[in-house]
Amino acid sequence: MITALTLAPIAAAILMLALPEARARMVALAGALVSLALTVGMLTRFDLAETGIQFQEKFNWIPALGIDYFVGLDGLNALVLLLAALLAPLVVLASWKHTDRPRTYFALLSLLFTGLFGTFTALNFFHWFLYWELTLVPAFFLIKLYGTGEDRHRAALNFFLFTVVGSVAMLLGFLFLYQQTRTFDFIILSKMGVDVSPWIFCAVLAGLWVKVPMAPLHIWQAPAYAAAPAPVAMLLTGVMSKMGVYGFLRLVVPIFPAHLQHYATALMAFALVTILWGAFLALRQTDLKRMLAFSSLNHVAFCVLAVGAIGLATDGAKIDVNALATQGIILQMLAHGIAAAGLFYLVGLLEERAGARGLGDFGGLSAVTPRFAAAFFMLTFCSLGLPFMAGFAAEFLIFSGSFAVAPGITAVATLGLLATAVFLLTMLQKIFTGPTPERHRAMPDLSLMETLILIPLLILVFWVGMAPATWLRFSTILF
């Protein structure tokens, strides 16, 4: 079943070649919906009492090198796979009016979906890395060919080069690791307790560091997010940034526990810098897309802060830091993915309607677009961590776990929450309050299609925030 949901979008991309170009969007939507249906079907049958890998498919691929085709679901990847599968059809619907070379555009989107699904379900490094790299190619061309602004070519190239360099470092690290362990299997490696050179650990860390991204290797992010079409930016911030965080949970935490413990304080320090620097950069922005890009940098860094807390956790602690931090990371990936994707979609609609996305280009829009304003406010409040919304539950878990082992760093990190509140509330004030400029008084409100795209995201914002146990139960099997 996992193979079917992973390959459904790429099958759709191949089918597009045989059909009229006007059918490309329908085929892409069908492929994404098949993947979503299969994902939801698996999660409804997910055994919460089972501690191992579920729905696994495993067979020998290259036996001489110990390479198996191995996929499966557990508490680490169930919710992030759901996030990717949910956003896939929404991104296709958000791109429905796209008319510039639609066959190529929707085929690239479908390839990107397959890469994301494969990355979140593969459990052997060999084909996990294939999927990891597969996401890079369509994302590069989607930014370069369909992005906006004169800097899109440079933004796409920087995105490509940074990610490739990080991936090469990670590949070399795993090849050296294979020389000592003779296996690429993530599950076997996690049970071995590998003792390798710190350079191998750092090489693997570099690939994840770039993908998250973390300071100082974040400089590709804001230009790429700003240049990408809004639906592609939904994927970049909503799902692709989670690939790096998921890599920390799947690779670093279980396979390199000793190295993580040794470097945990340094990792938390870099996460702290990224949190504060991301918030500071967001405060300085006037471009809405770049502001949301730095907001994403700030929010995802909280996940890495919690990874460091896992490294510092000890068995004698009064609370289960490992459980709190891990569940906080998983819930934050889901919460941030929902809110950030929705906000980038709304900013894209704003740019499409007004031909601008500057912070000072708007005002008083709540009077003319009340449904748009309501959706924007709810998603922004989720990013702020307002109680009863998804962001609050996730951040509360992360800070609870981190404060138990590193109270000083965690206390300083809360300044990032304060700065986040300042720039996000300023954004709401500038866009939606005050007098409405004459040129925007006829701006249309959300259409039926646009509302339907946002409804699933808004439902999840409140569902995850008000009943987090419904979602956390998928990760309780880890402990």
The CA distances from residue 54 to 45, 46, 268, 323, in Å, are 10, 7, 32, 20
Quote the CA–CA distance of 54 and 50 in Å, as a whole number.
Answer: 8
Q: Which H helix or E strand runs over 281?
A: helix 257-283
Instruction: Evaluate if residue 50 carries a pLDDT over 60.
Output: yes
User: Measuring CA to CA, which residue among 336, 320, 340 is closest to residue 475?
Assistant: 320
Residue 149's region, left for phi above 0, alpha for psi from -120 to 50, else beta, is left
Q: Calculate the average pLDDT of the chain.
A: 92
Q: How confident is the model over 46-63, as a mean pLDDT?
A: 87
Whether the bond between 198 and the residue before it is cis, its omega within 30 degrees of 0, is: no
Residues 384-422: tens digit of each pLDDT:
999 999 999 999 999 999 999 999 999 999 999 999 999
Tens digit of each residue's pLDDT (9 = 90 or more) over 155-173: 999 999 999 999 999 999 9
Decide: 440 and 354 in contact? Cβ < 8 Å. yes
Give me the residue spans of the domains in the chain.
2-478
Interatomic CA distance for residues 118 and 379, integer angstroms: 28
Q: What is the pLDDT of residue 474?
A: 87
CA distance 92 to 13: 13
Would you state the pLDDT for residue 150? 77
In the chain, the largest separation of any two C-alpha atoms, in whole Å, equals: 70
Task: Tokens for 411, please give them.
Answer: 């206390």
Tell me what the mean pLDDT of segment 174-186 comes to.
Answer: 91
Task: Give the model's confidence band at 476: pLDDT under 50 very low, under 70 low, under 90 confident, else very high.
Answer: confident
Whose structure tokens read 């994404």? 32
Q: Quote the pLDDT of residue 316.
A: 54
DSSP per position, 289-303: HHHHHHHHHHHHHHH
Give pLDDT, residue 315.
Answer: 58
Q: Are 401 and 325 in contact (CB under 8 A)?
A: yes
Q: What is the CA radius of gyration of the chain?
A: 21
Nearest residue to 56 via CA among 35, 77, 30: 77
Pairing mode of beta strands 54-62, 67-73: antiparallel
429 and 292 Cβ atoms separated by less than 8 Å: no
CB atoms closer than 10 angstroms to residue 439: 12
Question: What pTM, to 2 d.p., does this model score?
Answer: 0.95
Q: What is the pLDDT of residue 155?
A: 93
SS3 (DSSP) at 55: strand
Token pair 């809004």: residue: 230
SS3 165: helix
Place of tokens 């230009």: 223
At 21, the pLDDT band (50, 70, 90 cuts) reads: confident
**Residue 65: predicted pLDDT:** 81
Comparing C-alpha atoms, which of 182, 149, 164, 144 is closest to residue 64? 182
Which runs of E-coded beta strand occur in 128-228?
A: none
Six token digits for residue 469 = 């146990």
Distance CA 211, CA 79 (A): 19
Token pair recorded at residue 252? 């670093």
Contacts of 190 (CB under 8 A, 6+ apart): 254, 255
Confidence of residue 318 (pLDDT cuts 50, 70, 90): low
Instruction: List C-alpha distances in Å: 328 to 146, 203, 261, 346, 468.
Output: 35, 26, 19, 26, 10
Helix, strand or coil, per DSSP, at residue 71: strand
Q: Is 284 helix (H, G, I), strand (E, B) or coil?
A: coil
- Specify the amino acid at residue 185: D
User: pLDDT tens across 87-143, in order?
Assistant: 999 999 999 999 889 999 999 999 999 999 999 999 999 999 999 999 999 999 999
Give pLDDT, residue 477: 66
